[in-house]
Amino acid sequence: MQVDTERQNVSFPNTFVLVGFSEHPWLEMPLFGVLLVSYIFTMIGNSSIIVLSLVEPKLQIPMYFFLDNLSLLDLCATCTIVPQLLVNLWGPEKTIASWSCIAQAYLFHWTSCTECVLLAVMAFDRYVAICCPLRYVLIMHLWACVWLATVCWASGLANSLVQATLTLYLTLCSKNTLDHFFCEVPALIKLACSDTTTNDLSLALGAIPFGIVSPLTVLISYVFIARAVLKLPSAEGRRKALGTCTSHLLVVSMFFGPGVYKYLQPPGNGTQSEFLSLFYCVFTPLLNPLIYTLRNKDVKEAWKKVLASQGQGTSLKGR
């Protein structure tokens, strides 16, 4: 048992150094301020969407059920990455404890893979709503939604357990410096001295359902949606149908676009890669609730209703 512990200590150091944005020290304090504000608004925005859909009966439909799951994912991803990033930007130390690094690797892989599948499920929901409106309630009933959400979370967790656990078995070099601002599986694999063929193959196979099938599902769903919308006789009907999809399309573009570009670009462009990661890890969770709030009539009306009731309650207390 003692031998196993010693091997683990050799394979995984007690701390890792996160290089992050330390190559641009002049950027750290402004970035700290921006990230702190975005972190606060991300927590408020996503939490408020979850609470709003729970208290407003009009929002208790499948589309907002999946939006709640998206907000919960954004909260988890933000809490996994941003607090440690803020600590490293504020102080001279750019380290992270080994256990915290491993937790980041597991949680980030889980949330990112789950979000890939969830965005595909949300596209399928829009396809059923627009292309099969008479059967929508029958197809997207409560237990079907719960089952689809469970599949999203479970598939992301399964892939995370496989990829991150395989990474833990690697023998790392004496260098414990990650050229990143948080711990993720591909960055940890780059530190390995042992053979990483199994890890690379596992990542490639794992990318098929999450990085290829999920975006293709979104694309195919919207091809059918576009065909159905173009067949609608009235311009008002087409506008209303497309209005329910634009928010989701924006969120999909912001998530898959930078992510796919980052992982497909050749190695060596560290600064650009860091800012792309920063966008889809930090700013996408901030923008998601804003997009759904500003572009969605039901959400805006629910907000007005809640604010009006709060105003009436305040005035009654004043009397």
Among 276, 227, 234, 229, which Cα is nearest to 254's? 276
- Report the relative pairing of strands 95-97 and 177-178 from DSSP bridges: unpaired
Residue 25 phi/psi, 5-degree rounding, is -60, -30
Give the pLDDT confidence score for residue 269 in this predicted structure: 58
Q: Give the pLDDT of residue 313.
A: 56
- Residue 211 tokens read as 């990085």
pLDDT of residue 312: 60
Which amino acid, 148? L
| DSSP symbol at 177 | E
- Only one residue has tokens 């929002």, namely 59
According to DSSP, residue 192 is labeled: B
From start to end of the chain, where are the E strands?
A: 15-18, 95-97, 177-178
Over the chain (319 residues), the average pLDDT of each successive run of 10 is 40 80 81 94 92 84 92 94 92 88 94 95 93 90 95 97 92 80 89 89 92 93 89 78 80 82 62 77 88 75 74 57
The continuous run of DSSP H or E covering 271 comes out as helix 270-278
Question: Strand 95-97's sheet: what is its strand order?
Answer: 95-97, 15-18, 177-178
Residue from 156, 178, 140, 162 nearest 61 by CA: 140
Pairing, β 177-178 against β 15-18: parallel
Gap between the Cα atoms of 204 and 198, Å rounded? 10
pTM for this prediction: 0.88
For residue 18, list its beta bridge partners.
178
Backbone angles phi, psi at 311, to 5 degrees: -65, -40
Q: Closest Cα partner for 10 from 188, 173, 183?
A: 173
